Chains A and B, each alone.
Chain A
């Protein structure tokens, strides 16, 4: 009886990737995915998503508004490995290549309710100036092998220092209308 249906608790995440501030770039889209621990499993909803391309608003804010919904439910037995949402933003460069404009990760809020999160975005920096130029020229910026690594600790020692956080580059992950945390006793 026990192993068949072990008690779990559910974590429902509802929300949207609202908008971003990328003053230097336009026409961006974003991807999201979740990184979670071993004891977690998604039960419903989409674990990954890719948004539409959005353009800057014409007003002073110059916000890139996606309003891209996120709706996923996890079940888990252990708060360890609490899900993190990983966002990566892409957009075309001068030559029209899709290059990554920012990575960012944030834990799913721990308490129910509405939360607004603003995530600083960063991209890995080229190891040398020459490479910087060529990568710009070739449209092959350095990027993570997998966006999920930004939510993981392993192997980040080397690259940490070279990450670049462009000034005022943020993604708002916001109003999460309801984050439900419920225990299902069985």
Chain B
């Protein structure tokens, strides 16, 4: 140990003592007078103060108390140069000490006398001790216990904090009685004395053992040395300064010294941290990012200039608006947290997305379910609102309030048909139309374009074929050529079509013109000025011809090529098909042959012979194409569609140059037509948003059926237009105008402004029918050009309005367009599309693909929000239709906000823990305080869980010992898990009543009752139980639930045997008891008195209840029929603190109610003392127990009744002889009171609501009729007797509903059992019952969490070796049936099980009720029968429901043949259909495995012995081997006799062998399921509690194997005390 280090530590202590100082100092410093000379101190104080000062300065903001270590360090550093002798540190200190010590001692001597008197009483006694005690190795415990121990110096390990506190208190106490000094500051002398005084108690020590003291002294002397040294050394500037300080502080300091001297406990003031300290501390602990703007260079990597993308011409988007300060804070934070600066962009700003909005909706459209449809169809009443205010049409007040203007220019109207059209007009209109078409086509000149294209393609093919071009592989060339060729074909086709169209159009025009001319000639006047001129254009015939020929040749060659290709392909096909055909042919022939043979053999069969395959047709080879044919074809087509080379090009020209015949030269009809036309006038109404805003002037219809308006309407609008309509009205003469047609004008795009808008024509048509009596053709009326009236056609009034609509331009050139935001939802999509395109300056584009291509080509900046709608449009258009996901995503932004990758997240232990907890994995369900850091989570937390996951399939034999049981346990676990998973949904479901306490709806009776109650006595003489409030297990915690066990009385407790008691009971105590005996409640018969002449107390029983290892017991009563009437309260703890219903249901704990006999032993050793004192030892002897599973209590809410005590068959020292004598009288009901009974009342406080089992329809393979009948039957029964159990169908282990009688069927019991008593049926029955009872009991509710009651068949039951009452009862009933008994399954209520199943048998003349789980049987009139009421009886072929008035077995008649008493399921109306059984034909039993049983026996014995030793940690546990072996021999006898009638022999034998031991013990018998119940049972007997020093134990285990691995376990535990 480095002494220096120790020293240093001590200084720390000291320094801490001076902490008052230090605090002040700190405060001062904090108030920024740091460097100011602070205190004047006496020289002695200096160095220390300096040290502390230094340390303070060194770690200024550090709170001193918290971290002495840092100070230590700083001090050591400081000290080096200061104490400065040039010797190595260790020796130096030693040296210094010695000299110092000398001086010290002198001072001590001088001071002692003075100080002693003054300070002795002030010093608390422990203080001197303290001084010595603090040692390095031994800690606090030493303080008090070993005062004389050698002093050790360091106080290293001791918490400085506590020290300082104590110290401070002490000093305060000291200071009090000295009022003359300023409060809190003792005078220097006092302080000094105080300091020195503490050496007094052990001066001799220091002298005697200088070496030992060396260390001890170190600290003290060091301190003092320091105090003294400084003046001697006289160094340090600070010291000089401090000398100047005034005296107050010096005193202050001395106070500190004092404490240090008398007590090494570091004393500090109360932990007060000034606000400044706090703030300072916080500034250290918390990081508060500053709001200062961060200079750009910090945000960028070194030597990198910020780069501004905007300046480089790139579009960067508009950053979202963030307050400057927030941004600064964020930047500062990021700089601190993430030094890599990856959050900053090139321009030194935080990376930010311009637009966080996703382009696609992440919510799927509302599903149209039935419900929602209804909701959608629901009429909603909405209050009428003014139109203007209604919607988004309203311009918000914030917007530019200006009016917007829409200019509508209506230039004119042309009728393409009108009722007043003459025939000529019709033709003229047609001609005009055709001519327009022609012009349009001519302008486009598609044929020319296609021809050029064709030419280009051909050229390309030729160059491609050219083999000299080396620069691409043959393959690709071939490919491109092929592509070209197909394109050529395509183009040619198009071109031909176009050319043909051109030609036909031209032909039609000419034809119409010809018709018109003939019409004019026919009617001898002209109505229209139309004139068609055909201009011929001369062509160079030769060149033309050549071109024509070349074209044809090219085409021919191409076609030929095509054909040859095709031909080759066809040939190939032909070959393969021919091949196939040949093969088929062959096969056919072979078959035919065969068939022929077959036909010969069996001529009958021939007809039946089907034609397996349809005959293949012999393929025909394709014909090669002939060039001539192709040429012919091509030429023909060319002739048809193309201008022949010698023909001139015809160009039609339509002019209005013709003259119209004046009216006077026309026939009358024509004149009247013309007059009619003149009468007519037309005007237009302009409708904006379906409201007329203006109308044109009425203009007369011209002879050419054109109307010119030339009006411009300026519509001042406020809102975005919804619709713009023109209505064409026609007035005839002075009649009212008629509406001809409506024309819908498109609303112009925002780019269309006045001046730029083209005049457009919108067609309209009317469906009115007009017949005129003049030359006019009318409208909607058939007419014909032919004289004979054939070839009729019907024309409707139609026409075109030429107009232009545009947005007006304001004064300053801004178009007066309403903002886009106003656009109506109704046509948003349309507008958006329009707008998206118009935003880039074009309009009218509709081909999205092209647009996309264009966008890609023009390299549009996709990030520019100006382009955003366009880009979105393109992305939508190119990806097909608008992308609406068919899913609905809740966390659509998850991806963006994932701050770690999933793998990383999964690796996190904390996350995993939280995840598992929220999944309610059993291991973690109630895990509390999940640690903050991953590193704090131990791997082992998961170990159990992982192990369980791993072991799911692995069979672990360690816990179960027996492999078969291990398998079963695993299997059950798996079944349970799957069942639970199936029903998990309904797990957490609360009713209103669970949450809210509310009085029930009162009805008259309750009201009356409550009124009656008012008059009731407050304390009735015979109080009745009131129903308790039920509590749902929601807000419960540990300690809320208590188990109340009321032990009332017991009957027929075994009594001690005389012989035993003779030498066990000392005379004295017996006398004492005999006095009491008179008051004993037990009624004794005379025979009894004869047996116990001394009137000794027979037994002093008390009851001990243990539950979850909590033990309570009653007082001791006396006599075999004791009455306790005591209530015991046991706390209940749910597993894992989980009080949910599911968890409570699966509690497997058992309430053990043990009855003990309290035996007093006189241990007085000296008889002479008997008069003056009593020394007795209390021993308790276990008599028996009652076990009640918690689940039973939970489901029953309360258990009230008398239970048979499970008494071991052999109870040494006790007998029940008296009972036997009494009992023999009732042999007919031989079971009556054979055992001992105890009356109990058990309940849970507060009452818990048991989880309701889910009534669910399960699938079934039963007949539907039968199922209906069961429902009906059950409903009827429930109506009559709602409380009686009626069972018709049950659920089998696979979750299917099965009719209950299918479970009952005679099944063979194991042959072994039958062989035991071949002649005694009754004995065999008992043996069988015993066998059944040996199969472990496992309630379904435990295994299936209260979900449902599953019935397994008997073979499943025997395989599982676990089941509840039903399975036991079914098996027992089946055995009885096979034994030839009349047996029924009896469904009813019993205590403590509640609803349960028993077996009823008919013996000669009486009924017996068998408890299948215990193997006991009761007579019908046995009052102690646990069965309390009977619901129904089930036989193998029928069900009988109890419809008698009573349901107690005592009071009912079991004769099921009486229909008045028993309602049968199958009756005459519904006969028994003969249902097959679900049970197996026969049960197969394996022979019991003796060797395995023996092995298991040894292991259990070993385990139990170990356990008993564990339970006795403070005592030696000796095993008496001799006794053990005796017991081991005895146990098989017990098994053989089933625990009857062996007691006497056994005792005799034991007495013989263990004569000088006092022996108390008993055999326990139980079925074997696991080891734990065995251990619990042994523990509950309390054998291990005997603390007599020389006690010995004996433990023997015997396992008797029965067939099918059913094991009967016997455990004999005994304690032996040697008699002196």
Task: Kindly identify which residue among A3, A138, A154, A183 contacts B990, using a CB–CB cutoff of 8 Å.
Answer: A154
What residues of A have a CB within 8 angstroms of the CB of B994 in the complex? 145, 155
Q: Using Cβ atoms and an 8 Å threshold, which residues of chain B touch A124? A: 996, 998
Would A145 and B932 count as touching, CB distance under 8 A? no
What residues of chain B lie closer than 8 Å to A9, measured between beta carbons?
932
Which chain B residues lie closer than 8 Å to A41 at the CB level?
928-929
Inter-subunit contact B998/A39 (CB<8 Å): no
A138 to chain B, nearest CB (A): 6
Task: Map CB proximity to B onto A67-97 as digits: 1 under 8 Å, 0 otherwise.
Answer: 0000000001110100000000000000000
Is A169 at the interface (CB under 8 A from chain B)?
A: no
List residues of chain A with CB within 8 A of the CB of B988: 154-155
Nearest Cβ on chain B to A139's Cβ, whole angstroms: 10
Cβ 8 A contact of B932, one of A3, A7, A131: A7
Chain A 30-51 per-residue mask, 1 if CB under 8 angstroms from chain B, else 0: 0000000011110000000000
Whole-angstrom distance between the Cβ of B1260 and the nearest chain A Cβ? 33
Please tell me if the beta carbons of B931 and A127 are within 8 angstroms of each other in the complex: no
- Neighbouring A residues of B992 by C-beta, 8 Å: 127, 158-159
Does chain B have a CB within 8 A of A109?
no
Find residues 985-1014 in chain B having any chain A CB closer than 8 Å to their own CB.
Answer: 988-992, 994-999, 1001-1002, 1010
Q: Is the CB of B999 within 8 A of A140?
A: yes
Question: Which residues on the B side are within 8 Å of A134 (C-beta)?
Answer: 999, 1001-1002
Closest chain-B Cβ to A50's Cβ sits at a distance in Å of: 18
In the assembled complex, which residues on chain B have CB atoms less than 8 Å from the CB atom of A148? 1035
Least Cβ–Cβ distance between B39 and chain A, in angstroms: 34
Q: A134-B1002, A154-B990, A155-B990 are in contact. Are A142 and B933 (CB under 8 A)?
A: no
Task: Please report the C-alpha to C-alpha distance between residue A183 and residue B287 in the assembled complex, in whole angstroms.
Answer: 12
Contacts A6-B932, A155-B1034 hold; do A145 and B999 have CB atoms under 8 A apart?
A: no
Binary contact track A128-157/B, C-beta < 8 Å → 1, others 0: 101100110010101111101100001110
Q: Does A2 lie within 8 Å of B930, measured CB to CB? A: no
Q: Does B793 make an interface contact (CB < 8 A)?
A: no
Please measure, in the bound complex, the distance between the C-alpha atom of A127 and the C-alpha atom of B998, giving whole angstroms. Answer: 9
Contact with A along B1027-1062 (1 / 0, CB 8 A): 000011011000000000000000000000000000
Contact (Cβ within 8 A) B1002 A183? no
Contacts of B997 in A (CB 8 A): 142-145
Query: Cβ of A119 < 8 Å from any Cβ of B?
Result: no
CB neighbours (8 Å) of A8 from chain B are 929, 932
Chain A residue numbers with a CB within 8 Å of B926 are: 38
A159 CA / B991 CA spacing, docked (Å): 9
The contact of A138 among B929, B999, B1031, B1032, by CB within 8 Å, is B999
B330 an interface residue at 8 Å Cβ cutoff? no
* B917 at the A interface (CB under 8 A): yes
Tell me if B938 counts as interface (CB < 8 A to partner A): yes
CB distance from A95 to the nearest CB of B (A): 13
B936 x A6 contact (CB < 8 A) = yes
Min CB–CB distance A36 → chain B (angstroms): 11
* A21 sits at the interface (CB 8 A): no
Q: Quick one: closest A residue to B281, CB to CB?
A: A182
Contact B931 A2 (CB under 8 A): yes
**Chain A residues with CB under 8 A of B998:** 124, 126-127, 131, 135, 142
- By a CB distance below 8 angstroms, the chain A residues around B1530 are none
Complex Cα–Cα for A182 and B285 (A):
9
With a cutoff of 8 Å between Cβ atoms, the chain A residues found around residue B935 in the complex are: 2
Q: A126: which B residues are within 8 A, CB to CB?
A: 998
Check A77 against B931 for contact (C-beta < 8 Å): yes
In the bound complex, what is the Cα–Cα distance between A78 and B917 (angstroms)? 13
Which A residues are in CB contact (< 8 Å) with B1188?
Answer: none
B1531: shortest Cβ distance to chain A, in Å?
A: 47
A139 to B989, alpha carbons, bound, how many Å?
Answer: 29
Closest to A6 in B: B931
Q: Is the CB of B996 within 8 A of A159?
A: yes
Residues of A contacting B: mostly:
loop
Determine if A135 and B932 form an interchain contact, defined as CB atoms under 8 angstroms apart: no
Interface-centre pick from B929, B937, B938, B995 (highest chain A CB count, 10 A): B995
CB of B630 within 8 A of chain A? Answer: no
Q: In the docked arrangement, what's the CA distance between A149 and B991, Å? A: 13
Nearest-neighbor residue (CB-CB) of A134 within chain B: B1002
Give the chain A neighbours of B989 by CB distance below 8 A: 155
Q: How many Å lie between the Cα of A7 and that of B990 in the bound state?
A: 37
Task: Judge whether B457 is part of the interface by a CB distance below 8 angstroms.
Answer: no
Residue of B nearest to A128 (CB): B1001
CB-defined contacts of A182 to chain B, threshold 8 Å: 285
Question: Which residues on A sit within 8 Å (CB–CB) of B938?
Answer: 2-3
A3→B933 CA distance, assembly (Å): 11
B208-242 interface code vs A (CB 8 A; 1 in, 0 out): 00000000000000000000000000000000000
Give A100 Cβ to nearest chain B Cβ, in Å: 10
Chain B residues with CB under 8 Å of A39's CB are: 928-930
A143 close to B996 (CB less than 8 A): yes
B936 touches A7 (CB 8 A): yes
Roughly how many angstroms separate A8 CA and B994 CA in the complex, as a whole number? 35
**B76, chain A: closest CB distance, angstroms:** 26
Chain A proximity mask over B905-947: 1 for CB below 8 Å, otherwise 0: 0000000001001000000001111111101111000000000
B1007 nearest CB neighbor, chain A only: A134
Q: CA–CA, A80 to B915, complex, Å? A: 13
Q: Nearest CB to that of B991 among chain A residues? A: A158
Among the interface residues B996, B1001, B1031, B1032, which one has the most CB atoms of the partner chain A within 10 A?
Answer: B996
Q: Which chain B residue shows the least CB distance to A130?
A: B1001
A158: chain B residues at CB < 8 Å are 990-992, 995
> What residues on B are CB-neighbors of A3 within 8 Å?
931, 936, 938
A156 to B988, CA, bound (A): 12
- Kindly list chain A residues whose C-beta atoms are within 8 Å of the C-beta of B928: 38-39, 41
- Closest residue of A by beta carbon distance from B1002: A134
B1007 to chain A, nearest CB (A): 8
Assess the A7–B931 pair: CB atoms within 8 A. Answer: yes
Contact B929 A76 (CB under 8 A): yes
Question: Which of chain A's residues has its CB closest to B940's CB?
Answer: A3
Name which residue of chain A comes closest to B1031, CB basis: A145
Q: Is the CB of A156 within 8 A of B929?
A: no
Residues of B within 8 A of A138 (CB): 999, 1010
Residues of B within 8 A of A146 (CB): 1034-1035
Verify A159–B995 contact, CB threshold 8 A: yes
Assembly CA distance A38 to B285 (angstroms)? 27
Please name all residues of chain B whose beta carbon is closer than 8 Å to the beta carbon of A142 when the two chains form the complex: 996-999
Residues of A within 8 Å of B931, CB to CB, are 2-3, 6-7, 77
CB distance from A89 to the nearest CB of B (A): 17
Contact A6 B995, beta carbon cutoff 8 Å: no
**Residues of B contacting A7 in the complex (Cβ-Cβ under 8 angstroms):** 931-933, 936
Interfacial chain B residues near A6, Cβ < 8 Å: 929, 931-933, 936
Measured in the bound complex, the distance between the Cα atoms of B648 and A37 in whole Å is 99
Measured CB to CB, the closest approach of chain B to A161, in angstroms, equals 11
Q: Which chain B positions have C-beta within 8 A of A156?
A: 995
- In angstroms, Cα B563 to Cα A87, docked, is 95
Q: How far, in angstroms, from A14 to B1264 measured CA to CA in the complex?
A: 68
Candidates A2, A38, A130, A144; contact of B995 at CB < 8 Å = A144
Encoded as 1 (CB less than 8 Å from any B CB) or 0, chain A from 156 to 169 comes to 10110000000000
Chain A contacts for B932, CB-based, 8 A: 6-9, 77-78
Within 8 A of B (CB), among A1-29: 2-3, 6-9
State A42–B926 Cα separation when bound (angstroms): 17
27 contacts between A and B (CB under 8 A): A6-B929, A6-B931, A7-B933, A7-B936, A8-B932, A39-B929, A76-B929, A78-B914, A124-B996, A124-B998, A127-B992, A130-B1001, A134-B1002, A135-B998, A135-B999, A142-B998, A143-B996, A144-B997, A145-B1035, A146-B1035, A149-B1035, A155-B995, A156-B995, A158-B991, A159-B995, A159-B996, A183-B285
- Minimum-distance CB pairs A-B, first 3: A155-B990, A142-B998, A2-B936
Known: A6-B932, A158-B991. 16 other contacts (CB 8 A): A2-B935, A2-B936, A2-B938, A3-B931, A6-B929, A6-B933, A40-B929, A78-B929, A78-B930, A138-B1010, A145-B994, A145-B1031, A149-B995, A155-B1034, A159-B995, A159-B996
